[in-house]
A and B are shown apart, each in its own frame.
Chain A
Amino acid sequence: MANTRKQLPKSPTGIQGLDEITGGGLPKGRPTLVCGPTGCGKTLLAMEFLVRGATQFNEPGVFMAFEETAKDLTQNVASLGFDLRDLVRRKKIVLDFVFFEPGEMAESGEYDLEGLFIRLGHAIDSIGARRVVLDSIESLFSGLPNQHILRAELRRLFRWLKEKGVTAIITGERGDGTLTRQGLEEYVSDCVIVLDHRVNDQISSRRLRVVKYRGSTHGTNEYPFLIDEDGISVLPVTSLGLQEIASTDRISSGIPRLDSMLGGAGYYKGSSVLVSGTAGTGKTSVAVLFAVAACRRGERALYFSFEESPSQIMRNMRSIGIDLEPWVQKGLLQFQANRPTFAGLEMHVMTISNAVKAFKPQVVIFDPFTSFINGINENEVKMMAMRLLDLMKINKCTALFTSLILGGSASDQSQVHIASLMDTWLWLDDLEIGGERNRGIYILKSRGMAHTNQIREFLLTDHGVELRDVYVGPSGVLTGSARLVQEAQEKAVQTLREQEVEGRQLELERKRNVLEAQIAALRAEFAVQEIASMKIIGQEQAQEAQLAQERTDMGLSRKADVKSNNKKGVSK
């Protein structure tokens, strides 16, 4: 809505949220029609517009009441902290009560409403009023017999108000199929705001919608609004327009192993985390640990509990070795416990908003957020979540919502609504294997970080939360004693394998030994044979020599060829 182009000059109402929707207030110097059924807060809105104008913007105002006396009005708005009597005394506001008994007015001939003009003009001039409220001028229709004159005069009145340059609110009761009973919207065409209140499941919620705003952009949605001790507050669904700067800082989830699952560093600062799970899966523990981690860093954590009382949470957390008492005493941890049915969603948003503004936490927990869902208000709860997230982003809080799942899978419809708004979605699950239930945790999504896709077993021990690897085998994920059994089995198998390897090694060794023994035996045998062979060779040689000698000797004895062959007995 931040428009740099020049828009109509506007008159800020000072009503929380309304100026955001209208982009700065009501059209300055023009009449605005505020209509709706009885009891929707028209008079109050108009009165707050005047009071805030008089006190905050130095614009005195005239309240012309056609239904309530000045005394009644003063009393009614005193409960909202508006001291009308004082403002009237200080000439900031004029209250004028226009009273007439329908029966006591007779008509004879032509007339106009100049008296009303003079009266209003006098009131405006007496304090230099810049704002005017006519509440509700339709009552004139029951008092004045001639509708033609009245309509013509109303047209003149609104023109006259414009000429006077006062910013005016005209209220009107809703009619059948029309915005107002007498069709005032015909005359007031610059800005029309419709108020409504509905009762859903015994909880009433008020709505405001800008139907028309000539010459200006405006939020077109229906916005819930509240009337509390500070007057009206309108809650724009998305006042931020998604322009907040995302932090790259990371903060610990309070569970070291979970941090490492989340890319090693935990959640993003200022992000939103949804922890979903069936009953008893440890959502609250995850939430509490996150809050405690914040307290350890010296930050403030605000814990909204919608089902358990603070003392109940503290007792339960002691059983897993987490003591919250010191943090509460140090003022770093604050609990706010309210039943969802205690008030309408808007009232809760307001309470939360006020608590956040007062406590200024860095971490906010909503546990369990799903208890707001009652079966028919899912969209409203989503809107509420959106507004809460905006609130968190404006205040730079990291928010953790827990959400109870009634069994079923991650695609459970009611969850997806909220989950799509969240940055990180943790899923706590019951893993039912081998006749026991064990807790598992995994990350369904975590925007902007590399996170694990693995399931971890989630153990609640007397010294806090532990995350363990689960056994993933052909039959799925194993946890608890099944995991222990599996681990034992694996160990046995490994021992067996080790033994087998050892056996094989021994066998090999034995074989080598056998082989070597054989080799040695062969070698010995060979040696023996060698010796024997050598011996034979020697004998043969000796024999040969003997024969040669004998031949020579024989030759000598025969005296054959003595000269040439006396040495070589072999030659012939």
Chain B
Amino acid sequence: MTKNPTKSASPKARLEKEKSDNYILRLYVAGKTPRSVAALDNLKKICEEHLAGRYKLQVVDLLESPQLARGDQILAIPTLVRKLPLPVRRIIGDLSNTERVLVGLDLRSKS
């Protein structure tokens, strides 16, 4: 925790703040397959429940922009990438197993 968040002008400090506070999530899908739709639904549900108000969600359809697959090292579809907070985390699958998603996002300890 920074001592004085209101005075944080430096980008580093802001990053620190975002890291602790905000989740930036990116979900990679390929077209509107049932699995993609399910993944998005599942994700939204989890976020609303556990990260309400402190997350940003981007959905990337690789059929529309295939060049983006390389940047985030996407192999499996669907893949959820937690860009922030660091470290980067990846969760593959339709996110139907909520428990595993929470563990993967460090929202719950593995035990």
* A binding-site residues for B, Cβ under 8 Å: 96, 98-100, 104-116, 118-119, 121-122, 140, 143-144
Contacts and interface: CB of A to CB of B under 8 A. Distances in A.
A387 B96 CA distance: 63
Nearest to B61: A118
A332 B36 CA distance: 76
Contact of A115 (B30, B95, B103): B30
Nearest to A123: B70
Nearest to B43: A108
A107 B91 contact: yes
A108 B69 contact: no
B24 interface: no
Given A109-B96, A114-B77, A121 B89 contact: no
Given A110-B35, A114-B30, A119-B69, A104 B75 contact: no
A109 B94 contact: yes
Contacts of B63: 118
B76 A108 contact: no
A253 to B, nearest CB: 68
Interface string B16-31: 0000000000001010
User: For chain A, what secondary structure do more than half of its interface residues adopt (helix, strand, loop), or is it mixed?
Assistant: mixed
A568 to B, nearest CB: 175
B88 A122 contact: no
Contacts of A106: 89-92, 100-101, 103-104
Interface string B70-81: 100111111100
B97 interface: yes
A119 B65 CA distance: 10
B28 A109 contact: no
Given A109-B93, A111-B92, A118 B76 contact: no
B4 to A, nearest CB: 33
Nearest to A149: B76
Contact of A110 (B73, B74, B93, B98): B93
Contacts of A119: 62, 66, 69-70, 74-75
A8 B74 CA distance: 35
Given A104-B87, A106-B91, A111-B94, 9 more contacts: A105-B91, A108-B95, A109-B38, A109-B94, A110-B35, A113-B77, A115-B77, A118-B77, A143-B75
B67 interface: yes
A99 B76 CA distance: 13
B96 A122 contact: no
A73 to B, nearest CB: 15
B70 A96 contact: yes
Given A106-B104, A122-B69, A115 B94 contact: no
22 contacts: A98-B75, A99-B73, A104-B88, A104-B90, A105-B91, A106-B92, A106-B100, A106-B103, A107-B93, A108-B95, A108-B101, A109-B38, A109-B42, A109-B94, A110-B96, A113-B75, A115-B30, A115-B75, A116-B76, A118-B62, A118-B66, A119-B66
Contact of B69 (A100, A107, A115): A115
Contacts of B78: 111
A159 to B, nearest CB: 18
Which residue, of A105, A140, A143, has the highest number of chain B Cβ atoms within 10 A? Answer: A105
Contact of B90 (A96, A105, A110): A105
B100 to A, nearest CB: 4
Contacts of A115: 28, 30, 62, 69, 74-77, 79
Which residue, of B28, B66, B77, B92, has the highest number of chain A Cβ atoms within 10 A? Answer: B92
